[in-house]
Amino acid sequence: MLQLIVNETDRMNALIMDMLELSKFEAKAIQLHPRALTIGLLIRHVTASFTQQLESKQLLIVVEGDQEDWIVHADPRRIEQVILNLLSNAVRHASMGSTIRIDLKSTPRGKITVTIANAGAQIAPEDLNRIWDQFYRAERSRDRKTGGTGLGLAIVKHILELHGSEYGVANTGNGVEFHFTLEQVV
């Protein structure tokens, strides 16, 4: 019983913290602290924190576009938060034993596009635009015990908009991919 109470307390604490953070974004009280950032190294750092979840679902993460030296202009803390959230969603919804792909590409317009794709259940077409809304859940069967707070993608949206990023989500042939852009430093 005590463990159940501790777990429920942790879940409620996460929800409250996410709600507070989201309210700061909506009140435009968040200030970015952008600087030159090596995006490939940040991605490798974030992916290393998922070892336990990857092992439990027998997942593999492959980082494509091996440009670890590409530098972007962004707030490191906030972009780490974006990558953590998108990767957490990719892991949570990936099919057992599949591969999650992270792809880095340079665009002719001086931006880096980061794509995170998994193999798993697709998102219903009518839900694709709504997943960025707070508390919206594309999977009706999910409850808060098996997933996040329902605020993660709303927070990601605000962070990316503050960075002037282009972002989106699309179903692929065998799963879902999220993408966003950041300004490249040359």
* CB-based burial label for 19 (10 Å; 0-12, 13-18, 19+): middle
Residue 18: pLDDT band by 50, 70, 90 thresholds? low
Residue 12 reports pLDDT greater than 90: no
**Lowest mean pLDDT across 15-29, 112-126, 156-170:** 15-29
The DSSP output letter for 181 is E
Residue 94: strand, helix, or coil: strand
Residue 30 reports pLDDT greater than 60: yes
Query: Is domain 2-185 given the CATH code 3.30.565.10 in the classification?
Result: yes
Query: Do the Cβ atoms of 87 and 42 come closer than 8 Å?
Result: no
C-alpha–C-alpha distance, residues 143 and 146, integer Å:
6
CA end-to-end span of the chain, whole Å?
56
The DSSP-derived string for 100-134 is: EEEEEEE-TTSEEEEEEEEEBPPPPGGGTTGGGST
What does each C-alpha distance from 16 to 20, 26, 85, 90, 151 come to in angstroms? Answer: 6, 15, 17, 23, 10
CA Rg value for the chain: 17
Residue-level pLDDT at 1: 76
Tens digit of pLDDT for each residue in 99-121?
999 999 999 899 999 999 999 99
Tens digit of pLDDT for each residue in 117-162?
999 999 999 888 888 876 655 554 444 444 566 778 988 998 999 9
Q: Please tell me the pTM assigned to this model.
A: 0.82
Residue-level pLDDT at 128: 87
